[in-house]
């Protein structure tokens, strides 16, 4: 859990108004690049980045279990045994 918190704080440092990404983009151009990237947008991005792997893992596990049950039924197991 600590590594997740560390990654979120790293993204905050990168994406804030005077953060690393905005400083690099300012060096390339002449106006702030992340002016419209609001706190809410950053929060949605950080939560998606943090929780998406967990959601994908849960979906993959559910699909794998469904494939195992379907395979057991194809090989002649009763629904109770495949369960």
d(CA 70, CA 20): 50
Count of structural domains within the chain:
1
* Residue 20 structural domain: 2-82
**What tens digit of pLDDT does each residue of 34-83 get?**
655 666 777 787 788 788 888 898 888 888 887 877 888 788 888 777 76
Do residues 22 and 34 lie in contact, with contact meaning Cβ atoms separated by under 8 Å? yes
pLDDT of residue 37: 63
pLDDT confidence tier of residue 26, bands split at 50, 70 and 90: confident
pLDDT of residue 36: 59
- Which regions of the chain does DSSP assign to beta strands (E)? none
pLDDT of residue 46: 77
């Amino acid at each position: 859990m600590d590594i997740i918190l560390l990654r979120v704080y790293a993204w905050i440092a990168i994406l804030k108004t005077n953060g690393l990404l905005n400083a690099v983009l300012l060096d390339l151009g002449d106006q702030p690049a992340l002016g419209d990237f609001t706190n809410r947008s950053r929060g949605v991005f950080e939560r998606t980045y943090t929780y998406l792997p967990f959601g994908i893992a849960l979906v993959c596990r559910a699909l794998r279990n469904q494939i195992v049950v379907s395979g057991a039924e194809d090989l002649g197991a009763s629904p109770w045994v495949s369960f």
